[in-house]
Chain A
Amino acid sequence: MQLTGAEIVIRCLHEEKVEYVFGYPGGSVLYIYDELFKQDKFKHVLVRHEQAAVHAADAYSRSSNKIGVCLVTSGPGVTNAVTGIATAHMDSVPLVIISGQVPTAYIGQDAFQECDTVGITRPCVKHNFLVKDVRDLAVTLKKAFYIAKTGRPGPVLVDIPKDITNQKCEFEYPKTIAMRSYNPMVKGHSGQIKKAVQMLLEAKRPMIYAGGGVILSDAAEKLTKFARSLGYPVTNTLMGLGGFPATDKHSLGMLGMHGTYEANMAMQHCDVLIAVGARFDDRVIGNPANFAGVSRKIIHIDIDPSSISKRVKVDVPIVGNLPDVLDELQKLLEASAGVPDPKALAAWWKQIDEWRSKKSLKYKQGKEIIMPQYVIEKLYEVTGGDAFITSDVGQHQMWAAQYYKFDKPRRWINSGGLGTMGVGLPYAMGVRFANPKATVACVTGEGSIQMNIQELSTAKQFRLPIKIINLNNRYLGMVRQWQQMFHGNRYAESYVDALPDFVKLAEAYGHVGMKIERPADVEPALRETFTKHKNDLVFMDFLTDQTANVYPMVAAGKGLSEMILAEEL
């Protein structure tokens, strides 16, 4: 049977078992929306800004391991989506973005709502396509879903000119896709894996450094088993939180710019380091020259060969799908006669415990002013550590990462790579769509939340009972912190004046608003929110200490052992 391009788009989404499409209609996608209207196999979520559509799809994917799907119109629809696409790309999240384009004959004519979508998005997608013939449409969409999810995942954009959506051809959805130019490697090199096991067993001061790849590849359970069977310390990156239980005694917490003292010191002083789905980025190891200045052997497992030896020279590279490689490692480990040197390991743990005793995350909560860290600790208690936590970007993000102990993967949703302010609320929406019964809290600040505040309207429409934890210090806190530390206390444009009354604002959108000003009210307010208002969206505006800084801190360009600790100030 002959179908129009628009019908084909919908049929392809059905074939891919898509549950939700996050989008915003416009001229170039009207045929697609017309067909979308006639079906009920998936739901469309109408956001209030295209950026939020991509963020919501992104979090839908992060919290479920399914592919997020967005639909936007040409021109401004796409340019609005770019921040969302770049955010997903930096964190390797599988998305398929369908964008409308002006009719084929108008392309290049500076038509109304025309932009070079493929050109604009090229550097921030895994791949993109412009469909020039309706007969290519189904196979292109199939490729998009295939490319997004395989290998190192990422967003794939399919740009469809309006005339293509109204032309007809025979529809057949390909069962499989073979591409001669794209064959992601899955199996790690067995010789290298053998070497890695040997190296790990001979380690005196071993360290496991686990990143976002553990979450993305659903390898948390395997990693946990592997780490426990060795008894080695584990640190997680910001993107890897939940990949190893934070409450496990082997966990050293997060490492990096705002990592714990023990994690950073162990990272710097270990003699064998195994990097698992992590990429040694600047916020993790600080200055690469300083990091390389200490001699240690490095094993690096990653699905993306270009992540290996990019910033740090690696001794044993293993390219492959993480769960498979971990299976191999586990098998060899169990078959091996060797065991870790118990004396050396005990000495190493003793050293680590000494570092731990610094209690680098301690802070003082007085009677008058709410400390932001305290809010997160109470949030952790009240939610039993079992909520999905999304965050925006800034100080509150770091506090959430430091004080909410994630024991499970896919519970911590934040923009680690691009560091996009404004993701928190749309992220919470996406999480809730993927996990319709879950408790979802968005930890944010008064700066970030205003970058996508309009989504309070979407949340109302879809009755999403998100809890917004606004750590309101009336400053762009992380900017202020850097200005205090590195720019002579000159707070250039980091004070946010004329803030809205968030309680009234929440109420105006039909939600519940609360203002919490005293430490003693923090816990009761949280309890009320998560019990009495279980089914409401609650905007909790916490007035917090304006001078609080995130510690420990490794200043940009410094080495991991050059941390600034709170107590030293």
Chain B
Amino acid sequence: MRHIISILIENEAGALSRVSGLFSARAFNIESLTVAPTEDASLSRMTIVSTGSDDVIEQITKQLNKLIDVVKVVDLSEAAHIERELMLVRVRAAGKDREEMKRIADIFRGRIIDVTDSTYVIELTGNGSKLDAFLEAIDRSLILETVRTGVSGIGRGDRILKV
């Protein structure tokens, strides 16, 4: 099953490699991993999307907790949560495609953030499947490049991950 794991970790050099090294050393799977400092600059927050049986996910959270720099680990998938991912797509937008591309971007609540005579860069936010759906909806041959951030997640309601 797919799980979204949130980690608060000391913002030290090498913190990321401790986490990624753990996943490769123990043959755990990573679908995506995002990391950036929090409002407290001494802490980074990571969101890892992984798949595995309940036993594997239990080991993942235990092994993460064992890392000395890790302050807190939460499996967001255990309760209601929100996940978002940002995607930037550069598409060909010339002739009849220009209007069509803007229309589809609007439908997906995307924003055009860069324009040339023949291309757009579209910014799109949502969960992974929405971004996938957008890429499905446009003509594949018009996609020039895509970049995705990977998933960030946060709990719904009163669930707070903080020191």
B63 adjacent to A126 (CB under 8 Å):
no
**Do the beta carbons of B62 and A305 come within 8 Å of each other?**
yes
Q: Do B65 and A305 have beta carbons less than 8 Å apart?
A: yes
Instruction: Give the shortest distance, in Å, between A236 (CB) and chain B (any CB).
Output: 26
Contact B68 A127 (CB under 8 A): yes
Contacts A122-B17, A130-B13, A181-B10; A306 near B63 (Cβ below 8 A) = yes
Give the interface residue-count category, chain B: 20 to 34
Report whether B69 and A181 are in contact in the complex, using a CB–CB cutoff of 8 Å. yes
Q: How far is the CB of B63 from chain A (nearest CB, A)?
A: 5
Q: Which residues of A have CB within 8 Å of B157?
A: none
Q: Give Cα A123 to B23, complex, Å.
A: 11
> Hey, which chain A residues are within 8 Å of B163, CB to CB?
180
Does B14 touch A at the CB level, under 8 Å? yes
Residue of A nearest to B25 (CB): A123
- Which residues of A sit under 8 angstroms from B58, Cβ to Cβ? 309
Contact B68 A147 (CB under 8 A): yes
A181 touches B21 (CB 8 A): no
Residues of chain A contacted by B21 (CB below 8 angstroms): 122-123
Residues of A within 8 A of B9 (CB): 181
Contacts of B71 in A (CB 8 A): 180-181
The answer to whether B4 has its CB under 8 Å from any CB of chain A is: no
Interface residues of A in 96-128 (CB under 8 A from B): 118-119, 122-123, 126-127
CB distance from A147 to the nearest CB of B (A): 6
Distance in angstroms between the alpha carbons of A304 and B67 in the assembled complex: 12
Q: A179 to B67: give the CA distance in the assembly, Å.
A: 13
- Of all chain A residues, the one with the shortest Cβ separation from B9 is A181
Q: Is A37 an interface residue when CB atoms closer than 8 A count as contact?
A: no
Nearest-Cβ distance from residue B46 to partner chain A, whole angstroms: 13
Chain A CB within 8 A of B66 CB = yes
Find out whether the CB atom of A306 lies under 8 angstroms from the CB atom of B68: no
List CB contacts (< 8 Å) of B84-125 with chain A.
Answer: none
Bound form: Cα–Cα A439–B10 in Å: 47
CA distance A127 to B66 in the complex (A): 10
> Within residues 9 to 27 of chain B, which ones have a CB less than 8 A from any CB in chain A?
9-10, 13-14, 17-18, 21, 25
Q: Is B131 an interface residue (CB 8 A)?
A: no
Docked Cα-Cα span, A130 to B55, in Å, equals 34
**Does residue B38 face the partner (Cβ distance < 8 Å to A)?**
no
* Complex Cα spacing A84 to B76, Å: 39
Q: Chain B residue with minimal CB distance to A310?
A: B59
- Write out the residue numbers on chain A whose beta carbons fall within 8 Å of the beta carbon of B17: 119, 122
User: Does any Cβ of B come within 8 Å of A182's Cβ?
Assistant: yes
Q: Taking CB as reference atom, which chain B residue is nearest A319?
A: B62
Residue interface mask A548-565, B partner, CB < 8 A = 1: 000000000000000000
- Which B-chain residue is minimally distant from A122 (CB atoms)? B21
Q: Is the CB of A118 within 8 A of B14?
A: yes
What residues of chain B lie closer than 8 Å to A181, measured between beta carbons? 9-10, 68-71
Shortest CB-to-CB span from B12 to chain A, Å, is 9
The residue in chain B whose Cβ has the minimal distance to the Cβ of A179 is: B68
The reply to whether A126 and B68 contact each other, CB–CB distance below 8 Å, is yes
Chain B residues contacting A130 (CB-CB under 8 Å) are 13-14
Instruction: Determine the residue in chain A with the shortest Cβ distance to B22.
Output: A123
Measured in the bound complex, the distance between the Cα atoms of B10 and A117 in whole Å is: 20
Nearest Cβ on chain A to B144's Cβ, whole angstroms: 35
Cβ-defined contact, A122 with B70, below 8 A: no
Candidates B13, B66, B69, B70; contact of A306 at CB < 8 Å: B66
Chain B residues near A132 (CB, 8 Å)? 13
Q: Which of A132-165 contact B (CB under 8 A)?
A: 132, 147
Known: A130-B13, A182-B68, A309-B55. 4 other contacts (CB 8 A): A119-B17, A123-B21, A179-B68, A306-B63
A-side residues, CB < 8 A to B, are 118-119, 122-123, 126-127, 130, 132, 147, 179-182, 304-306, 309-310
Task: List 22 contacting pairs A-B, 8 Å CB cutoff, sorted by A.
Answer: A118-B14, A119-B14, A122-B17, A122-B21, A123-B25, A126-B68, A127-B68, A130-B13, A130-B14, A180-B163, A181-B68, A181-B70, A304-B66, A305-B62, A305-B65, A306-B62, A306-B63, A306-B65, A306-B66, A309-B55, A309-B58, A310-B59
Which 10 A-B pairs rank lowest in CB-CB distance, beginning with the nearest?
Answer: A306-B62, A127-B68, A181-B71, A305-B62, A123-B25, A182-B68, A306-B63, A306-B66, A181-B10, A181-B69
